[in-house]
Amino acid sequence: MLKVIRENNRYPHHVVITRLIVPDNPFEETDTDDDDLFGDEETEQTEDVASDEEQTEDVRYEFPSDAEEITHDVTVVLYDGRGRTFTDTTTTGDTHMDMNRRKCSIPVRFDEWTHEVLDGDRIAVKVGDVIYSGEVKDIEPDNDRTLIYWERPRVTD
């Protein structure tokens, strides 16, 4: 009899969980010398204004300290590693948008997280060559792993 060895990796997917941290008051002006608050007068612009993509910083595993003032959007990576994602329940939604409810098992004990994963954090899971992304809805401990409940939007034009 021919023996076939099959590798069944318990955590075959790649999972990235991120959080977007925005300034306390993104509309606050840092330069108060300008008397024209509403932009009625034309002024000469000497600096190039950076696009939104250039203003977002990618910080890996480091939160800005409380003393550090955040002046632009910062994306913090909470987890970047292996995991297993699967469908929790059927797809639900109305006539414009369906939401696919999913679970993600991550081999990290609940008490080993440096920063708590919260509702609203973003999750992206790579399954083969396909990347699924969505929003974290809930998190719970389970033996030597953490279960994350998340929703994936599906547009149904």
Our count of domains for the chain comes to 1
Res 75 pLDDT > 90: no
| More confident position, 74 or 134 | 134
Mean pLDDT, residues 41-66 taken together: 49
Buried b (16+ CB within 10 A) or exposed e, 139-155: beeeeebbbbbbbbeee
Task: Say whether pLDDT at 91 is over 70.
Answer: no
Is 121 within the bounds of a domain?
yes
Residue 30, domain member (yes or no): no
Cβ neighbourhood burial of 132 (10 Å; 0-12, 13-18, 19+): middle
Give the pLDDT band of residue 50 (cuts 50, 70, 90): very low
Whether 102 is covered by a domain: the verdict is yes
The reply to whether 151 falls in a domain is yes
- Residue-wise pLDDT tens digits, 129-151: 999 999 999 999 988 899 999 99
Structural domain boundaries enclosing 148: 13-22+52-155
- 98: confidence class by pLDDT, cuts 50, 70, 90: confident
Residue 31 lies in a domain: no
Q: Which among 147, 134, 127, 130 has a CA at the least distance from the CA of 100?
A: 134
Rounded CA-CA distance 112/6 in Å is: 31
Residue 14 Cα distances to 98, 106, 124, 129, angstroms: 24, 10, 8, 11
* pLDDT digits 0-9 by tens, 11-29: 899 999 999 887 776 566 5
- Regarding pTM above 0.85, the answer is no
Residue 1 lies in a domain: no
Ramachandran angles phi, psi of 114, nearest 5°: -75, -45
- Whole-number Å distance between alpha carbons of 136 and 120: 5
Which pLDDT score, from 0 to 100, does residue 29 have? 55
Please check whether residue 117 lies inside any domain of the structure. Answer: yes
| Residue in the block written with tokens 């797809």 | 91
Q: DSSP code of 128?
A: T
